[in-house]
């Protein structure tokens, strides 16, 4: 009787551990701990960097008394653990401090610049996925043919060429010589502040305002930088898709299906592609995160007022509040993308539920 109760208790405990509520609480705790670790790392990096935040505030010509008073006012005279406690308390209230460059709260600056990077990276990842996945599939289906060789060369060039070089060549050819696209920036100066700022994404806001002229101008400006970033992500997604496909096409179940006379298109669509969806989600999520984080050079070349340009300018100006706030935002986006990937896994692969 006691053995039966033990078995029942074990089954109940397993059911409780794998229940949706327990799983959600566990993921929430992991995300919270990860964000806390991210805050701690960015905070410590800001303290060990060879930049004096006091001089950035008072200037090099300030007196010793002014320097010491500012040093105390900024809380730098307290132990590091106490400084981190105060910083954490402020962040939990949405306070990342004030930017030295703009004299505005860092959170307001991030809410202003992040939509520009989000808009650019979203269009870029859409280009990368819509072109990279089909090219990778076609390349894997036709291994060793001229199609496969061409696709691999295209992917290799996109993965190897410096992204700032691609941006400058694109501006020189398509904007300077041909005039097919808009120049640097998000809009021409005549279209500045002509539509309400609702989402921060000009394409979306212009559609909401039904301003066709502004939408066309914004599209002309974003198409080239988005294509450059999209080509970069296309190369990676294409190569990984081809690798996943080749691995599955050499599996025993594919050989069995072919022996039974199943059509090749059916094998690829119903079996092979379904099996590569889960690792492909990871590749796309990481590519999207890299675009959000690594668009610095592209934003610099195209004078795009996004978070990459914001963090770079803040770092060069020793604006540590802006640097820490921007770094934390990028890290939080990565965590959110990984969490979204986990939910997609559960949807695409029943074995992970």
Domain residue extents for the chain: 23-92, 106-352
pTM for this one?
0.81
> Is 295 in contact with 333 (CB distance < 8 Å)?
no
pLDDT means per 10 residues in the chain (353 residues)? 56 55 72 81 75 69 76 75 83 81 85 89 92 91 87 86 84 86 84 83 88 90 91 90 87 81 81 83 85 77 85 80 84 81 71 59
The predicted pLDDT at position 1 comes to 46
CA distances to 25, 115, 186, 213 from 192, in Å: 45, 16, 9, 12
Decide which of 3.90.230.10, 1.10.4000.10, 1.10.3720.10, 3.40.50.1110 is the CATH code for 106-352: 1.10.3720.10
The torsion defined by the Cα of 321, 324, 326 and 330, in degrees rounded to 10, comes to -170
The predicted pLDDT at position 297 comes to 77
The predicted pLDDT at position 125 comes to 92
> Is 229 in contact with 298 (CB distance < 8 Å)?
yes
The predicted pLDDT at position 18 comes to 55
3-state secondary structure 68-103: HHHHHHCCCCCCHHHHHHHHHHHHHCCCCCECCCCC
Dihedral of alpha carbons 275, 130, 201, 328, sign = positive
The predicted pLDDT at position 273 comes to 83
> Furthest-apart CA pair in the chain: how many Å?
87
The predicted pLDDT at position 3 comes to 56
Instruction: Give the Cα separation of 243 and 231 in Å (integer).
Output: 18
């Amino acid at each position: 009787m006691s053995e039966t109760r033990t078995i029942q208790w074990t089954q109940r405990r397993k059911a409780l551990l794998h229940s949706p509520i327990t799983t959600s609480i566990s993921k929430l705790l992991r995300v919270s701990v990860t964000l806390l670790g991210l805050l701690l790392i960015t905070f410590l990096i800001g303290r060990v960097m060879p930049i004096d935040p006091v001089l950035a505030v008072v200037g090099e010509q300030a007196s010793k008394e002014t320097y010491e008073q500012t040093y105390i006012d900024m809380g730098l005279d307290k132990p590091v653990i106490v400084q981190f406690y105060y910083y954490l308390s402020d962040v939990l209230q949405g306070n990342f401090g004030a930017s030295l460059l703009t004299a505005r709260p860092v959170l307001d600056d991030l809410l202003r610049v992040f939509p520009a990077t989000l808009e650019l990276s979203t269009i870029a990842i859409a280009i990368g996925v819509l072109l990279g996945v089909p090219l990778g599939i076609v390349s894997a289906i036709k291994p060793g043919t001229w199609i496969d060789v061409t696709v691999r060369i295209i992917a290799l060039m996109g993965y190897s060429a410096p992204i700032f070089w691609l941006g400058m060549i694109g501006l020189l050819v398509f904007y300077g010589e041909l005039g097919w696209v808009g120049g640097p920036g998000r809009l021409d100066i005549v279209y500045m502040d002509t539509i309400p700022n609702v989402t921060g994404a000009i394409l979306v806001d212009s559609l909401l305002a039904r301003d066709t002229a502004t939408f066309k101008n914004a599209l002309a400006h974003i198409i080239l930088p988005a294509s450059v970033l999209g080509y970069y992500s296309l190369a990676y997604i294409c190569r990984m898709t081809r690798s996943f496909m080749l691995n599955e096409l050499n599996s025993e179940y594919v050989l069995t299906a072919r022996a039974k006379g199943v059509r090749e298109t059916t094998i690829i669509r119903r079996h092979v592609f379904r099996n590569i969806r889960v690792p492909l989600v990871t590749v796309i999520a990481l590519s999207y995160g890299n675009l959000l984080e690594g668009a610095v050079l592209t934003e610099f070349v195209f004078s795009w007022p996004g978070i990459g340009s914001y963090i770079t300018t803040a770092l060069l100006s020793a604006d540590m509040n802006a640097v820490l706030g921007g770094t934390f935002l990028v890290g939080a986006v990565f965590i959110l993308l990984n969490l979204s990937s986990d939910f997609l896994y559960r949807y695409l692969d029943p074995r992970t539920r």
